[in-house]
Amino acid sequence: MSKLSEIFKNHKAFIPFVVADDPDFDTTVQNIIALAKGGADIVELGIPFSDPVADGPVIQAADLRAFQANVRTETVFEIVAAARKETAVPIVLLTYLNIPFKYDYDKFLQRCADLQIQGLVIPDLPYESRDEIVPIAIGYDVDIIPLITPTSGQRIAKIAQNATGFIYVVSSVGITGERDDFYDGLKELVTTIRQYTNVPTAIGFGVHTPKQAHIMAEIADGVIIGSALVDIVATKKQDAPNTIEAFTKKIRQAIDSSQTIHA
């Protein structure tokens, strides 16, 4: 069992997401620290990308703000290094495949290992192409976290059987963004995944309220929230950390009130 998987043992995990360098370097560092203080189990940090095909308008706008701040891949690693001076919270990166490819897979994963970045979420990495990066990631003890969606169908078994860290369960068909309606078969989808693996599941895409977080924690082993937090950053800018910490505490309480624990 990987270090990321261990986080979910007898405990429902909260995984909040923010975009690196939105609105600037120092605020991102403080946002990571605020998430940790608020009770995040894992922080998902997005590397801005010019064509984020899985992301909705809120996160796309954050990527553009980061580009205006002159973000680079190295900037993201420097942000993590600065945050590491204040917190040991587990961090995973949300990245599109071209970023580590251009950086060089081996060098990218070496940097991840050096900074205790424990996993990568790569939305545009098909299962069939995973051998391009997974063997290198294994060498650095970094999990490549797979996504399973309501349309994964017959591919669920092979994706789940080869998963490490945790499985990102996509709550709905479409892109990221706050929503009130989710896929009706989420519970059945998670049950199907559990037939093939003991790797924990975490539901993301659209979750944005404490009530929704509680419901998703009853279904899966963890909850991922992104756009709601990114929206706080967009509104509060440099004043975001305090609001982020308070929001995180509310979500933490909602998740902890879930009674269904899968050991």
Catalytic residue selected from 22, 41, 55, 245: 55
Please give the sequence-ordered ranges of beta strands (E in DSSP) within 48-116, or none if there are none: 91-94
Could you confirm whether 188 is annotated as catalytic? no
**37, containing H or E segment:** helix 25-38
Longest dimension (CA), the chain: 46
Strand order in the sheet with 43-46: 143-145, 117-121, 91-94, 43-46, 13-19, 222-225, 201-204, 167-170, 147-148
Catalytic residue selected from 22, 44, 63, 245: 44
d(CA 86, CA 8): 23
Quick check: 21 and 77 in contact, CB under 8 A?
no
Could you confirm whether 256 is annotated as catalytic? no
Known catalytic residues are 44, 55
